[in-house]
Amino acid sequence: MNSLNSVDFTLSEDPFALFAEWFLEAKQREINDAEAMALATVDADGLPDVRAMLCKGVDSAGVVFYTNNESAKGQELASSGKAAVLFHWKSLRRQVRFRGPVALLDEATADAYFHSRPRVSQIGAWASQQSRPLDSRATLEARVETFAKQYGEGEIPRPAYWRGFLLTPVQIEFWKDGAFRLHDRVTFTRESDGWRGQRLFP
């Protein structure tokens, strides 16, 4: 087995502490975007949908991300109230999955993060009608220019539809590559008195 993955899982370990350890290593060693994750949702017909986006925080409360609440994923999150995310760090040959209910963060938290973003990204949040049909790239660029002129050098307000989300996991699974596909998998399930760890067949 690769030396990166030579340490056994501890089933009694706090899964958030273990994630923090892996996440820190990923930030130091992953070539691109250690914060990238795949967010999976389902539409009103139960058809799954998945897309890559950036995680903006993980702690004992759960996984934080931001998006346009009127986008396809925003509507799917509002409809089902549940989601799953996957972090895959290819260079470390590790992945972590979170599953659970999703809720909106308060508006003050969304405001604070929105105003920490680059100004062009703030303009982009106004310019992009996310997930809706777009006739040409020129239309998008024109909208960017329009909103840039509208807000000038002043503070750009957060669009009401641009919100933060918290996924509160009921299950967290850690996976690390093993030789000959004999991978290591441990799942932690939230119970009334804490987290229960269970090793799984690969």
Which residues carry out catalysis? 181
**Inter-residue contact 177 to 2 (CB < 8 Å):** yes
Q: Which two tokens stand for residue 70?
A: 């009127």
d(CA 121, CA 105) in angstroms, rounded, equals 20
Which of these, 56, 103, 100, lies nearest to 78 by C-alpha position? 103
37 Cβ contact list (under 8 Å, min separation 6): 52, 53, 54, 55, 63, 65, 85, 86, 87
Strands 171-176 and 184-191: antiparallel
